[in-house]
Structure 1
Amino acid sequence: MTPTSPSAPATATGHARVAPRPPSGALAAGGDGDVPSLRLVRLALHAAFYALLGVALAPALLGRAPAAVLPVGAVLAAAYGAGIVRRAGRPGAWLAAVTGLWLVLLAMDRGFSYVAFPLFFLFLHALPVRWAHPAVAAATAAVVAAQGGAPGGLTVARVIGPVAGACVAILTAYGYAALYRESRKRQLLIDDLVRTRDELAAAQREAGRLAERQRLAREIHDTLAQGLSSIVLLARAAETAGTDAARARVREIGRTASDNLAEARRFVQELTPPALEDAPLPEALRRVTARTLPTAAFRLDGEPCPLPVETEVALLRLTQEALANVARHARADHAAVTLAYLDGQVTLDVYDDGVGFAPGHGPADGRRTFGLHGMRERIAELGGTLVVESAPGEGTAIAATLPTGPGALEAAA
């Protein structure tokens, strides 16, 4: 509310913000912060000070009051504005100057009694509680004394008015402070929730990486490592075997090495599909569609945007699996693949007008749909959804939806 507000609040490690150090007055909890509504209240009080000061100076400008108040009023306005701009950390001298100038004006013209109301808030904010209330009481007494010099002398109304104004100011100040404290608590809670959400997302990504590492470790151990061990044993046996036996061992080594090479290539293809190495996702899907099911149509909607590798691989594998099922089982006359970039998400639809099946009971020919089950889990791990709609004789529609928000773009980077 006043120029005593400290500088902008510092930022803590991570996303949370440290609560600003408030001044020590009755409005200590409300003198700072970046809450828009509270900042608006402070601006309104500053505006009230200048408005009441202008109203008190108006009679002098119109010639109906002593002109001597004009220069003193101008100095008071300048001093108050200088304090607002400087935002002094120790406002003692500034507050004494503003109060002294106001008392001079009040002695010259009791019309400046109204300026006391915004000054009440200034005292409550800038001074410690043990000094703020006495300062408000002293200012109220000064106003009552000034009103006592009016024609008719001191009346009950001229006493009750300033006292009531002081009480309203004190109650408003404490309500303002409570509002600020509640707003700060809510903001800190939101910051903690955001930080916790980010930490949880990071932990989930790390868990996903560890799970994938363990999966690859198991597969490498069960395939490549076992094959290489067999090659080592066969090579040692060939060293001590006769000519014919050694040739047989060498042939066995060649077959084992070929099998392990095929496994290694399979691992590489699963991590980085060749179709995505030299083409963006829409072109890769177009090629896969034409190669897997030449009669199928491919359509692109929206403006393509960068996607994480995991998302592109999942959409490519889903297209391959769905089109392979159409080619092998659907007996469809028409099929279509639609890739759509929407606001915050990307969707992939694969439709055919084939024989269809009952999703809850498996295909009509009794085949087991491990491919779609695996893709459903893969899409879910990326935060998306996979929906399969089908019925006997009514074709099949597969729809996948994946997010493309900030988290997805961060993963792509």
Structure 2
Amino acid sequence: MDPGPRADDYPESMMTSGEERRAESGDVILRALRLGLHVSVAAMLLVGVGRVVDGEADLVRRVGVMAVAAVFAVVYLGGTLVEKRAAEGAVRPPGRGLALIWLATVTLLWAVLLCLASDFAWLAFPLFFLHLHLLRPAIGVPVIAVLTASVAVVLWHQPGGAHAATVVGPATGAVFAVLMAQAYRVLHRENRALRETLEDLRRTREQLADSQRTAGALAERERLAREIHDTLAQGLSSIVLVSRAASSSLEAGAVGDARDQVGTVRRTAGENLQEARRFVAALQTGQQREPAMLDELRGTCRQIEAQAAASGAELGCRLHVEGEPRPVSGGQALVVLRVVQASLANVLAHAQAVEAVVTLTFVEDELLVDVVDDGIGFDADRAAADGAARNDGTGYGMRSLRERVVAQGGTFAVESAPGEGTTVTARLPSAPVPAERVS
């Protein structure tokens, strides 16, 4: 089954390579354009004030120009600082109404300066960009036409200004301003869209990483549940079963039998303790032990016979190996071992069987393991229909085995019927493994 996209499908390089460089380049260009606009406003304002101060204007006009220019500078600078802090996220962006009020104030102050001295006519050109940036084109372009006409009229009425250049110059500047403002608008819109796309990509990567961590935690919980059920829980179940038999032997006065049964409990508990230690070591190191499969299968058969005898049952267990044994990967060997251990534990606990046969078959492209008993059997179809794990932790074994086998690319089946015994079969595909000694 396709697990869906992973965080690795959106590597960090995707966000810091071409798209990120494009966004950074766009930011640089936009900042340069804004800086150029502000510098041109300041330069033309200073040039206008300087010409008036050095000119032949009377004192009242000079003072008036300087005062209005100072107010213009304060209002303009205040608006640009608010815009900068809003872009940095330090303050809330001003509403459109406040921006229009600021634009109207700046324009009105420029108009006053223009009435006081024609030297401020060229200050209109950087102001064109402000109008085209803050106003919709349907409104901004007519406003620019009015401002251009105002500049042309003022220049026309200056001494020696009644010629075509007085009209062509402002008109050309206005057209150029409109084109540049439109280019700025397009670049600003594309850069903002690119930044939003990059931010969406970052959020998607973070969400996928969170999903992967959650999925990894769930998978680890499932793995721990399988290991605990198939090792520690099975061993404790055997201890409980044999200890009950020991109690019955003591009540019946069979001290010798009770002593043997207590010895079985002690050995089983010791084996369970060793298994728990191996389990903890594997968690600490992250390295799963490599079982000596055939030796451990033989040991499992001996243990189940001893536990059956200690509990008063007559259960024999035989191991058959068919085909030529070959190296088996550690993961597959562990799956085979868990299938046999869990199946034999179920035989001892539920089947009331006399004999269980474990068959390990090596064929060319598969490894097969069968556990067959001659016990009382059960309704396999009904068990499959009711097969969810119960709240007390039981009913989990067959599902756990199936998950283990399927994780190795194999198939798992349970066949049984009342009075006909039970057969558990796992088929695992062959996989290339490092050479290892098969005992």
TM-score, normalization: structure 2?
0.52
- Say which of 118, 122, 126 aligns to 1:118: 126
What is aligned with 2:47?
Answer: 55
Indicate the residue corresponding to 1:271 in structure 2.
283
1:108 matched to 2:116? The reply is yes
Alignment correspondent of 2:273: 261
In the alignment, the residues of structure 2 paired with residue 84 and residue 166 of structure 1 have an alpha-carbon distance, to the nearest angstrom, of 22
Query: C-alpha distance in 2, partners of 1:61/1:214?
Result: 85
1:83 aligns with 2:75: no
Q: Does 1:223 align with 2:231?
A: yes
Residue type of the partner of 2:66?
L
Query: Residues 161 and 205 of structure 1: is their aligned pair in 2 closer, same or farther, counting only changes over 3 Å?
Result: same
1:70 maps to which of 66, 69, 74: 66
Q: How far apart, CA to CA, are the structure 2 residues paired with 1:178 and 1:248?
A: 89
Which position in structure 2 is the counterpart of 1:246?
Answer: 258
C-alpha distance after superposition, 1:372-397 (max 9, x if no partner)? xx9xxxxxxxxxxxxxxxxxxxxxxx
Match of 1:191 in 2: 199
- Which amino acid letter does the alignment assign opposite residue 73 of structure 1? A
Deviation string 1:236-286 (CA, Å, 9 cap, x unpaired) is 2222222211111111111111111111111122223xxxxxxxxxxxxxx
Give yes or no for contact 1:234–1:253 (8 Å, CA) kept in 2: yes
How far the C-alpha of 1:97 sits from its partner, in A, is: 3.0
2:52·2:117 contact (CA, 8 Å) conserved in 1?
no
Picking from 133, 146, 149, the partner of 2:157 is 149
Alignment of 1:276-355 (within 5 A): 313=285
Letter of the 2:193 partner, please give it. Answer: K
Give the AA of the match of 2:79: G
Runs of 4+ in structure 1 deviating by more than 4 angstroms, as ranges, are 64-67, 366-371
**Secondary structure of residue in 2 paired with 1:91:** helix
2:32 pairs with 12, 18, 40, which one? 40
Q: 1:136, CA displacement in angstroms? A: 0.8
Aligned length: 252
1:235 aligns with 2:231: no
Task: Give a deviation string over 1:157-187, Cα, whole Å, max 9, x none.
Answer: 2111111111111111111111111111111
Taking a change above 3 Å as real, the CA distance of residues 206 and 48 of structure 1, as seen in their structure-2 partners, is: same
CA 1:211–1:86: 2 relative to 1, 3 Å = closer
- The answer to whether the 8 Å contact 2:133/2:185 transfers is no
Q: Is contact 1:60-1:66 (8 Å) kept? A: no
Cα drift, residue 213 of structure 1? 2.4
Residue segments in structure 1 that go unaligned for 5+ positions in a row: 1-33, 273-312, 322-365, 375-413
For 1:174-189, list aligned pairs within 5 A: 174-189=182-197
- Aligned CA-pair RMSD: 2.9
CA distance in 1, matches of 2:241, 2:277: 23
Percent identity at matched positions?
46
The answer as to whether partners of 1:59 and 1:65 remain within 8 angstroms in 2 is no
> Gapped runs of 5+ residues in structure 2?
1-25, 84-93, 291-325, 335-439
Q: Normalised by the size of structure 1, how large is the TM-score?
A: 0.55
Cα distance in 2 between the residues matched to 1:76 and 1:247: 105
CA distance, structure 2, for counterparts of residue 187 and residue 64 of structure 1: 53
